[in-house]
Structure 1
């Protein structure tokens, strides 16, 4: 037992536990005042998202004489959309989500998500509500500057001079060479998506949201598998991401409701996973059936609550706000 002496202790302080409880109470009050229904959906599912960038956990379900592989969900999104298609109206959920291979200063493989969907909202209206929630959570704790809204294209051109909507291998390589990011040439090759993610995380994200909520909208169409293409520009998708002090907090969409387009995107991502030898996934046919039945016009977003708590408590690592991080789970 000597090797575990002290290892049973929580990784966060008791005050951090109290801060989490206060944050969750504020969130529930915020949505209760707006008559948004709190729901629960399964953490174990027969299918999983197809995003080529995400890894997942599986487990074997035994119910004699059958056996089935189930997936720990990386997000409650698909199940919540099935509820929306069933006519439940605007909903939110606070739950655990799971992503394999993610551990570090801002990552734990098991983490807490707030996800909500607003029926009848466009992306701008959802951003208004996000602004209100963040202001509520930080009120009396930290004084944030007014929220900022800026397009992805504006940021890319400001910090790199590159056009993120049209890929030029020569221009991107030239920028990488001149900016000390030459590794990107080998890592990204001719993959526009990889280039955008690499450049954004290294050259743009650290500048976002200095003591303020920064909402970046209008992402290139190649970067969203679940958002609608913008009605005025087919090179842009109706997606928003949230940042405070360079920390990514959330990801939202004006939700795609076209079942044929959604299945086409799933199939494309599955092909990418196969080409890159990523673990195989099972496409969520129940979600596709729900979209076929009819998803109402809505916008939704998922926010990492552990990262919010890090900012509220001025913590430098996610372990400081988790009762037990993966190292002590």
Structure 2
């Protein structure tokens, strides 16, 4: 049977209950941040450099000037770098509900074009941000939520470190075996695959053995990631092996990624260069320049801050009980 076109009235009727819940969620989100003194901002979607994340694939575009001059641009994969420029400028606590684009993505939980909620609070610690996330979830969601067959109560939260998760579910000391793929494989009783390095094995174990157990009965905050897996986060002042990063899981889905933000421009440049080299080795040379303007802003001085990127479409799935991302998008691609 030929699927109905997305514009067909019956197609919209099937999605409309989820979409109306999404609209209420959007209003509640803006109200939450306004009440906490945040300013909503808007930053450009087309940028000269979309970031240095190793495994993200950006959309290319072009700006043509009135004089027919041409400048290559990229649709951003996150508003993060623009928002941090605003922190440098003194914007204070800010949030943005932005459309973002990531190539080579697509599943019941992924889309190449989707909506991201990001917010940044100067002076906040990781504990401060976790507390604010919990308050946000409880303000905009019902006490018990269900999506994709998983029911989660917001009455309590679970919190564990990456090291604790590996010890519990893998039986390995992930920090003691950092960057040593054979040692991690032996500890996990896994065969190291051809060409598999430590990072590859780390994520295979994380995705296969740990993540399926997160965000089930209660939301789970997975904290204190190995420093190599947090290129934009501060190292923990009490343990330099880990960074002040957390991911949030609700209804079995990864919902958000957060950092206590790195503010050292020299360290940021070094991490960017390392990520560019790894991306070059895996996927070929980058087509965009290093974001020197962002690094100049960092050198000028970014205030200590914590920030988070939360998948708004996934939040809408959780709020509405939807099982697929396209159910909460008005015109899914």
Query: What TM-score, normalized to structure 1?
Result: 0.91
> CA contact under 8 A between 1:145 and 1:211: conserved in structure 2?
no
Partner of 1:40: 42
Change (3 A) 1:260 1:141: same
Partner of 1:324: 331
Cα deviations across residues 158-191 of structure 1 (Å, max 9, x unaligned)? 000112223343343346655xxx5x623x62x2
Partner of 1:61: 63
Aligned to 2:246, which of 197, 220, 240?
240
**Does 1:149 pair with 2:159?**
yes
Q: In the TM superposition, what is the alpha-carbon distance from 1:314 to its structure 2 partner?
A: 2.3
Q: In the TM superposition, what is the alpha-carbon distance from 1:105 to its structure 2 partner?
A: 1.3
Aligned to 1:296, the other structure's residue is in SS state: coil
Cα deviations across residues 23-77 of structure 1 (Å, max 9, x unaligned)? 0111111111111111000011111211111100010211133111101000000
RMSD: 1.8
Aligned to 2:61, the other structure's residue is in SS state: strand
**Does 1:170 pair with 2:182?**
yes
Partner of 1:290: 297
Distance 2:219 2:292 in 1: 36
Alignment of 1:79-90 (within 5 A): 79-90=82-93
Q: In the TM superposition, what is the alpha-carbon distance from 1:274 to its structure 2 partner?
A: 1.4
Aligned to 1:320, the other structure's residue is in SS state: helix
Q: In the TM superposition, what is the alpha-carbon distance from 1:204 to its structure 2 partner?
A: 0.3
Partner of 2:283: 277
Aligned to 2:120, which of 117, 122, 126?
117
Aligned to 2:203, the other structure's residue is in SS state: helix
Gaps in structure 1 of 5+ consecutive residues:
none
Q: In the TM superposition, what is the alpha-carbon distance from 1:82 to its structure 2 partner?
A: 0.4
Partner of 1:139: 142
> CA contact under 8 A between 1:162 and 1:171: conserved in structure 2?
no
Decide which moves more: 141-150 or 261-270. 141-150
Aligned to 1:276, the other structure's residue is in SS state: helix
Partner of 2:31: 29
Cα deviations across residues 145-170 of structure 1 (Å, max 9, x unaligned)? 31121111101110001122233433
Partner of 2:53: 51
Q: In the TM superposition, what is the alpha-carbon distance from 1:94 to its structure 2 partner?
A: 0.5
Aligned to 2:219, the other structure's residue is in SS state: strand
Q: In the TM superposition, what is the alpha-carbon distance from 1:229 to its structure 2 partner?
A: 0.8
Distance 2:27 2:276 in 1: 39
Change (3 A) 1:5 1:209: closer
Change (3 A) 1:164 1:176: closer
> CA contact under 8 A between 2:25 and 2:319: conserved in structure 1?
no
Query: What TM-score, normalized to structure 2?
Result: 0.90
Aligned to 1:235, the other structure's residue is in SS state: strand
Gaps in structure 2 of 5+ consecutive residues:
146-152
Decide which moves more: 39-48 or 58-67. 58-67
Q: In the TM superposition, what is the alpha-carbon distance from 1:211 to its structure 2 partner?
A: 3.2
Aligned to 1:74, which of 65, 74, 77?
77
Cα deviations across residues 229-263 of structure 1 (Å, max 9, x unaligned)? 11111110000100013210010000000000000
- After TM superposition, which residue ranges in structure 1, 4 or more long, deviate above 6 angstroms? none
Decide which moves more: 87-96 or 272-281. 272-281
